[in-house]
Amino acid sequence: MTEDARDEVDRLVAAWRTERPDLDVEPLQVLSRVSRLAKHLDRARRAAFAEHDLEPWEFDVLTALRRAGKPYQLSPGALLRATLVTSGTMTNRIDRLAQAGLVRRRPDPDDRRGVLVSLTDTGLARVDSAFSDLLRREHDLLSSLGPTDRRALAGLLRTLLAPFDSPT
């Protein structure tokens, strides 16, 4: 590998191999790169959301509703499962999104005690434009990989993440 092809992780791994030859530092080759990439992705996500006046948590709730398909509504319980937050947190988030005019609550016609949360037209437009912007930025992050490499990387990451995403 030429010095030009080396990255910060290569230098980090080489230093640890010198300082701690008794340890297998091979996981750093993958996981330090994943960690560094996650930081770049987080910056890109935050920038995309900020351009559309959204916080990451707002985007998460709005995209959960958008993915549900027309009429873009879910119960608070379904939103909890989709966003992995507590019920108290979700109640607060729904309140704040409703105050911003991005979602509305309405009675659940199938459950007199329940409510459904749905996107407003403003919420739909905002999440659609933010999602388009995010995808543009994510394509830029992956621009150094061709389609075959992207598919291969996606498969490897899927294998790595599968044990963590399995229902327990």
pLDDT of residue 4: 58
User: Among 3, 54, 13, 30, which Cα is nearest to 161's?
Assistant: 30
- pLDDT tens for 17-76 read 999 999 999 999 999 999 999 999 999 999 999 999 999 999 999 999 999 999 999 999
Ordered alpha helix ranges (H), the chain: 8-19, 26-51, 56-67, 76-83, 87-99, 121-141, 147-165
- pLDDT tens for 157-168 read 999 999 987 765
- pLDDT tens for 84-104 read 888 899 999 999 999 999 999
- At 64, list the tokens: 């959960």
Q: Cβ neighbours of residue 124 under 8 Å, at least 6 residues apart? A: 66, 72
Q: Nearest 5 degrees, angle CA 96-CA 137-CA 42?
A: 55
Q: Are 131 and 67 in contact (CB under 8 A)?
A: no
- pLDDT tens for 27-40 read 999 999 999 999 99
CATH class of the structural domain 8-144: mainly alpha
Alpha-carbon gap, residue 25 to 39, rounded angstroms: 21
pTM over 0.85: no
Q: Where are the domains of the chain?
A: 8-144
